Amino acid sequence: MAFDWAYFYSLFSVGAFWKACLTVVQLSALSWGIGLVLGFVLASAKLSSHVWLRVPAGLYIWLFRSIPLLVLLIFVYNLPQLFPVTGSLLSQPFYSGLIALVLTETAYMAEIHRGGLLSVLKGQREAAKALGIRGLGEQRLVIIPQAIRIALPTLTNEYVTIVKLTSLVSVISLNELLLVGQRLYAQNFLVMETLAAVAVYYVLIVTLFGWLLQWAERHLDLSRKSAQTLDAHQASALRQPATLGKSRSEPVAGQADALQLRGIHKRYGNHEVLKGIDLRVRPGEVISIIGPSGSGKTSLIRTINSLESIDKGEIVLFGNDFIAAGQRGDSPAQRQGLGRIGMVFQNFNLFPHRTILDNVIIAPRYHRLASVSELRNRGYALLDRVGLLAHAYKYPHQLSGGQQQRVAIARALAMEPDIMLFDEPTSALDPELVGDVLKVIGDLAQEGMTMLIVTHEMDFALSISDRIVFMENGHVVTDASPHAIRNEGHARVRRFIGLEQEALA
């Protein structure tokens, strides 16, 4: 029997097919959109540290990924037999189909979102925490935008799957494309021609909406963003006066220490990395923490801004209780204290989906420290101070490592901290990029900023620091001035920094 092309073409002018197309679009778009939102909530619950959230989320995903959609459709449609009160809603095939699709897609979407959330680097959460951005603010400003970008290709593919799954809803008599086609070929027996037309309608829907989602994917692709470097005239128009810190001053007699660390212990499993650390830091003092790898330097500095908990001991900030062993996190005193501490990470941890200017002002804007226009001016001033005003509208990946680290310093300073922590600020940089970062830190020291710097730049540490703290095996072995280290023994420290070899030479 020859293929009836005339009949095939005539099917594209049949109003019932176009009405069914609208039904498919509505059903698939609603299922995808609702599943997208509920799936993210479910994924977050499954990744939660709370068992009462994680276990029910896992059970839901396991159950609704296991039940065939066809079975679920029939079950939901016939649910009024068990619960008559649902009859007014579920007796309508569209709503029964929508509910069944949402129940199924929420489970699948949750696993897609979970993959996206797990792909967001841990440093992004730590950077948000160090800036005082917590809870929903962290999710909204930092995590969700990155997770959606990562998951979007898979989410686009899932929409295509949903469009095709709508054909199953014909089993409960929803007037969608397949059911319209079945009714036609039941009358004229032109099965091939009718199903070919149905297939074309599905292809048109998938192509149109697939193209729209791919456009969104390309629009969100940061690698496609063009670098926007401001010229001298544009940069001059944005330039604002600013300083990075307070003027240099000597500690006042009787003034409370900026920091006191008392008997700090920290253990990872059976490995104790900090074994009773005591340290006092006076306001305006610059302390460099040095020592061999594994000595506990980074763990120590991360306890100061609560990125790591402590097992024993306490930390006092400007004479006030700040962090104690066993203390519940996010207390008002702790949140207030963290606002006085800025942190610069080894790997920069800039937010890749935000421009350089947005990175700098995101925290003060979240905390509503000033109006948006004032914060932007402050951001321009800080970027100008670190030599990056012309790059204000670039994204982090468009800058060199040294430039990214200077942006990270400006971002920390935007919160106007009293203390700055630096965790190996130059170790991830090429040698030729180190100098610019060290110069910014040196300027901060001259302006009186209290700083603790974990570093392997020995010459820099000796030149900038008021004190050198040498750590080994979880202990503070030496706490002395650079002058004392150069001239008064401390053989172990001298060997570590190479002074003994220089003397012998």
Q: Band the pLDDT of 499: cuts 50, 70, 90.
A: low
Same domain, 158 and 11: yes
Q: Which amino acid is at 326?
A: G
**Three-point CA angle 223, 225, 229, nearest 5°:** 120
Q: Which domain holds residue 434?
A: 284-302+331-504
Same domain, 376 and 493: yes
Best CA proximity match to 40, nearest among 112, 136, 98, 128 = 112
What is the tens place of the pLDDT at every residue in 236-295?
A: 888 766 545 444 445 555 578 899 999 999 999 889 999 999 999 999 999 999 999 889
Domain contains 258: no
pLDDT at position 383 over 90:
yes
Same domain, 296 and 182: no
pLDDT of the residue at 254: 57
Q: Running DSSP on this structure, what letter comes out for residue 449?
A: -
d(CA 120, CA 44): 13
pLDDT of the residue at 405: 93
Best CA proximity match to 184, nearest among 173, 195, 172 = 195
Same domain, 86 and 195: yes
Task: Among 166, 192, 220, identify where a domain stops.
Answer: 220
Per-residue b/e over 451-482, b at no fewer than 16 CB within 10 Å?
Answer: bbbbbebbebbbebbebbbbbbebebebbbeb
pLDDT of the residue at 73: 94
pLDDT of the residue at 502: 46
SS3 for 228-266 is CCCCHHHHHHHCCCCCCCCCCCCCCCCCCCCEEEEEEEE
Domain contains 129: yes
- Structural element, H or E, at residue 356: helix 356-366
Task: Among 220, 237, 267, identify where a domain stops.
Answer: 220
Q: Band the pLDDT of 1: cuts 50, 70, 90.
A: low
Question: How much of the chain exceeds pLDDT 90, in percent?
Answer: 61
Domain contains 60: yes
Token pair, residue 81, equals 């037999």
SS3 for 127-164 is HHHHCCCCHHHHHHHHHHHHHHHHHHHHHHHHHHHHHH
Which stretches of 389-439 are assigned E, i.e. beta strand? 419-423
Best CA proximity match to 409, nearest among 214, 245, 196 = 245
CATH number at residue 444: 3.40.50.300
pLDDT of the residue at 39: 95
Q: How many domains would you assign to the chain?
A: 2
SS3 call for 277: strand
φ, ψ dihedrals at 471, nearest 5°: -110, 145
pLDDT of the residue at 504: 36
pLDDT of the residue at 249: 47
Average pLDDT of the residues in 383-412: 93
pLDDT of the residue at 498: 74
Q: Band the pLDDT of 370: cuts 50, 70, 90.
A: very high
Average pLDDT, the chain: 89
Same domain, 114 and 190: yes
Domain contains 245: no
Best CA proximity match to 145, nearest among 352, 358, 349 = 352
Distance of CA 374 to the CA centre of its chain: 26
pLDDT at position 329 over 80:
no
What is the tens place of the pLDDT at every residue in 163-217?
A: 999 999 999 988 888 999 998 888 888 899 899 999 999 999 999 988 888 888 8
pLDDT at position 361 over 90:
yes
pLDDT of the residue at 250: 52
Domain contains 427: yes
Token pair, residue 392, equals 């204000």
Same domain, 191 and 294: no
Same domain, 343 and 482: yes
What is the tens place of the pLDDT at every residue in 153-165?
A: 999 999 999 999 9
pLDDT of the residue at 248: 44
Task: Among 169, 190, 220, identify where a domain stops.
Answer: 220
pLDDT at position 353 over 90:
yes
d(CA 183, CA 210): 28
What is the tens place of the pLDDT at every residue in 435-453?
A: 888 899 999 998 899 999 9
pLDDT of the residue at 233: 81
Same domain, 486 and 350: yes
What is the tens place of the pLDDT at every residue in 64-122?
A: 999 999 999 999 999 998 888 988 898 899 999 999 999 999 999 999 999 999 999 99
Same domain, 499 and 397: yes
The Cα-based distances of 28 to 61, 97, 155, 176 in angstroms read 20, 10, 13, 11
Domain contains 406: yes
